[in-house]
Structure 1
């Protein structure tokens, strides 16, 4: 009777699943028709509702991901493809996009790691409906040998079985194969070509593919090989494969777009830029206009009032100080901003300028619309032309660009054409940031291109600023003249951030009264080392109850760290507040006694210093930081804070317990940090370093300015 009941329940569940599958397929067809009629953006919310209604339908998640990509929401698309793979690890199209976004797109986080997805595919090939032939396009390049042997051992007469047998033979060193005659000849060629592509033997594959009919070419295998080639060390190896695809699928817009990147007869491609460098124009010997000697235009990636994170904070601090020093420095946001930033696609027309605390921010783009960044050369030329026109109205003596290379190249180009000096301020190397999260990407063509463009912008500028000595050293390593580089570190507005009395009401609200609070305030990102802080908290809670860890902020890894803390049963000693109002940050600092910054030993952390340590110092807090180079420039061990060995949770625990046990040391370190930051890192002090650069450029330029 029990067995009968269980069988009935399983039959009923199967029937319900089949019905849901039918409904999901019907919805997908309706959504595709709607998208074709009204566009991707208009259909996005309906897709979002669709995956909420059918959260286990991998095909619907895949379609949603494609729609997100069409609306330029790459990070959200990556999540959608990950969801599709969660529900069907053998969904090869979702896997193709997941791998592509994880290795080629210009962002990278731990959640984009492709290893687990390939491992899941290796298990899923045993499913009855699995496409074993297509799966080999992923299993072979990623060395999942055991799964390849399982496919080769299958008895079914499948193309995947034939391809796997060829792959196993090649693995054993067999290079000659008896080609079956008759009907199986084409099957064998298709299987052999796909294996050659998966193994990266593109020359041999192309020779074989050129002899095959259009219908026998394994199109998916060729396209996946193209994606791998484009992300690899020799992206030009994709060109013969793209020509194969062009022959087979002449109307494919993606193929045409990729080929255009290598068309040296029509325009300057990204590939050409990587190989030969950016063709900056020479500086005109005569200025185009009579400039205002103290006028400077400062080009920016983002700015207030639309963005207020660290990049915008540094900008505003420097601009405020520079304008108080007698210079007239105007922020100018790049071509396409803010409409190309996440969450700003629906922003309507904006004002041409905004005044924020006495600082003017002007915008080259005021109407909605997406500025295409590929090919880079074309974007830089449009950007430089818009900047030249704007500068001809404002008549600055200097053009100053802040990261990244889009700004640097366009600003140097415009300045050279106008006959005025330029400054490129390197606040970070974005390719290094992504490479720290995804080491495999460091070998990609995109990494090499961005690295070359950053160096070219710095080499072309009249003067260069960096925010750390480590960044300066990296630019010198890339060939930039050391004598023209000035370090202008990050700082803080010490008028805003100053010691405050403890906000007891907030402490009581958070349940941390009568505790020594170890408080992190900042972005919740993977490289900040917060897992080390949680590990130290777990070790300390077994021996003491006098502390509480407060983590204030939001970010991509917030949920994963919350899960990590829950798994470690830290609920009684760790509190995550999430994002708090910007105006309330000082209140949270007021209840913090120890401010940890345990950044990990990654290239981005070695080179780039965060702003938050300066805020903590200006609030008079005892700072504990890892000894990565950028933080070791800020924190003098035992003088303005404590350093711990980078990546070492035990040594972080040692430093924290030293301060927990010694309130006098906490107080003295906080006071000395406050004194140091007021003298060395106030924005007024730092802006004076920039004015010296401006004055030196003015002296070199002389007064030969036409009317």
Structure 2
């Protein structure tokens, strides 16, 4: 198959660690199919990162894992005219999309993220008579009601696409409830790269990271954004600090909330034991997971968080919010689930899990290659179905 992908969730020269889960999904997909990517970059991100040293090359074309990628600039009006974001996105990527169609002649278009990516992909694909599928991740559907324009655009994208891939059964049910045809919606539970994420010696991982054994090490990996609930985790740490002081918290990741979270930790008297490490290469994450006594994910909303699958594959116990598709993967790891937005409950679960970690299951997450194979099979079926001529009615056939 020839697959043209459109997504904002992909690394670029300014954000090399962006959406590593999607990068590796496409890397495995490109192992068996011809893939080309259009990964737009927000003009605001380009402006904010203009002094970071890296730059997008002239022509805005790069290669990642052997995949040709074009990075058009996404122009939009921040905070206003949200009802036009889909059209802004479509206009921003149209030139790159038309070029890719001429050069690749794809069998199908795949967008990951419902709005504006999926909305624009449906319209661009229709102009070229191409089938289109949309892969939804979680917050793009679960949090769509925050803005009316996002809700309407998300519904349009999912109902008009030829196929929808959801990363959890919870998300698939939401997609169908929005009006998508059930026979065009597939649930594909993700996996992990088992060659990278697997159990290992904690002492060796700590030595490589320079971590001592004088503390119990708590770990969070992810974007520092409001939806991830790191502010709730810091509140829980303040509660925990009143009863035990043998721990430190490592925050691996970056995002717009970092200055506010650093100020929150300082105000709570936790600055010395809440450590911000910034974004790290994906290949470094297994050592962080193996080194940790406990992983914590306090999210307000999730689809299927890949980091919990990765923690489970590394045999790292975790405490996580009971939201989205997380209960669907709880049996794959040594996990404890708590209600979101409740610092006291989160602190109590962390305290208990540090002293009595939950038992490890016999089986862990599957290999991501298996999940990518299911995605490819669904795309092939979707492309074949749209090429089939409509069935003749009995009267027309006579």
- Both proteins in one fold, TM over 0.5: yes
Tell me the TM-score normalised to structure 1 length. 0.48
Picking from 361, 370, 377, the partner of 1:692 is 377
Picking from 457, 466, 483, the partner of 2:157 is 457
Task: Report deviation, 1:463.
Answer: 0.5
Distance, in Å, in 2 between the alignment partners of 1:700 and 1:474 is 24
1:244-289 per-residue CA deviation (whole Å, 9 max, x = no partner) reads xxxxxxxxxxxxxxxxxxxxxxxxxxxxxxxxxxxxxxxxxxxxxx
**Cα pair distance change 1:379/1:591, threshold 3 Å:** closer
1:521/1:371 Cα in 2 relative to 1: closer, same or farther (>3 Å)?
Answer: closer
Residue 701 of structure 1: how far off its partner (Å): 4.2
Q: Secondary structure at the match of 1:629?
A: coil
1:113-128 matches, within 5 Å, as none
Give, in whole Å, the separation in 2 of the partners of 1:379 and 1:515. 47
Cα shift at 1:464? 0.9
Shift in Å, 1:500 = 3.2
Q: 1:415 to 1:641 in 2, by over 3 A?
A: same
- Name structure 1 gaps, 5 residues minimum: 1-293, 436-441
Q: Which has the higher contact order (CA 8 A, sep 6+)?
A: 2
Show the counterpart of 1:321: 28
Report what 1:60 is aligned to: none
1:178-197 Cα shifts (integer Å, max 9, x gaps)? xxxxxxxxxxxxxxxxxxxx
| Other structure's SS at 1:495 match | coil
What is the CA-CA distance between 1:592 and the residue it aligns to?
Answer: 0.4
Q: Does 1:577 align with 2:267?
A: no
Distance 1:305 1:527, change over 3 A: closer
For residues 486 and 636 of structure 1, the distance between their equivalents in structure 2, rounded to whole angstroms, comes to 21
1:414 to 116, 121, 124: 124
State the partner residue of 1:479: 179
Superimposed CA distance per residue, residues 643-665 of structure 1 (whole angstroms, 9 cap, x where no aligned partner): 12322233223322332223xx4
1:332 counterpart residue number: 38
| Match in the other structure for 1:642 | 336
Q: Distance in 1 between matches of 2:74 and 2:247?
A: 49
State the alpha-carbon separation in 2 of the partners of residues 313 and 693 from structure 1.
Answer: 22
* Aligned-residue RMSD, C-alpha: 3.3
Compute the displacement of 1:593 (Å): 1.3
* Aligned: 1:518 with 2:218: yes
Structure with greater helix percent: 1
Match of 1:426 in 2: 136
1:633 Cα offset (Å)? 2.3
For 2:126 and 2:257, locate their aligned partners in 1 and report how far apart those are by CA, in whole Å: 42
1:690 shift after superposition: 0.7
Residue 317 of structure 2 is aligned to residue 610 of structure 1: no
Matched, 1:622 2:317: yes
Matched, 1:633 2:320: no
Listed one character per residue, the Cα deviations across residues 195-219 of structure 1 (whole Å, up to 9, x for unaligned) are xxxxxxxxxxxxxxxxxxxxxxxxx
For 2:274 and 2:113, how far apart are their aligned partners in 1?
35
Who wins on radius of gyration, i.e. which is larger? 1
Change (3 A) 1:556 1:697: closer
Match of 2:65 among 357, 376, 392: 357
Pair 537,371 (structure 1): closer, same or farther in 2 beyond 3 Å: closer
Change (3 A) 1:517 1:323: same
CA contact (8 A) 1:301 1:404 kept: no
Change (3 A) 1:599 1:417: closer
> What CA distance in whole angstroms lies between the structure 2 residues aligned with 1:411 and 1:526?
27
Alignment of 1:118-157 (within 5 A): none
Change beyond 3 A, Cα 1:341–1:428: farther
Q: CA deviation at 1:498?
A: 2.7
Structure whose residues are more often strand by fraction = 2
Q: How far 1:462 moved relative to its partner? A: 0.7
TM-score normalised by structure 2 residue count: 0.80
Shift of 1:298: 0.9
* Structure 2 partner of 1:399: 109
How big is the shift at 1:491? 3.9
Q: Which runs of 5+ in 2 are unaligned?
A: 390-398
Distance in 2 (alpha carbons) for counterparts of 1:622 and 1:475: 31
Would the alpha carbon gap of residues 550 and 701 (structure 1) be closer, same or farther in structure 2, given more than 3 Å must change?
closer
Quote the residue 2:395 is aligned against. Answer: none
Separation of aligned partners in 2, 1:340 and 1:652: 35
Distance 2:193 2:343 in 1: 32
Whether contact under 8 Å (1:299, 1:407) holds in the other structure is: yes
State the secondary structure of the residue aligned to 2:199. coil
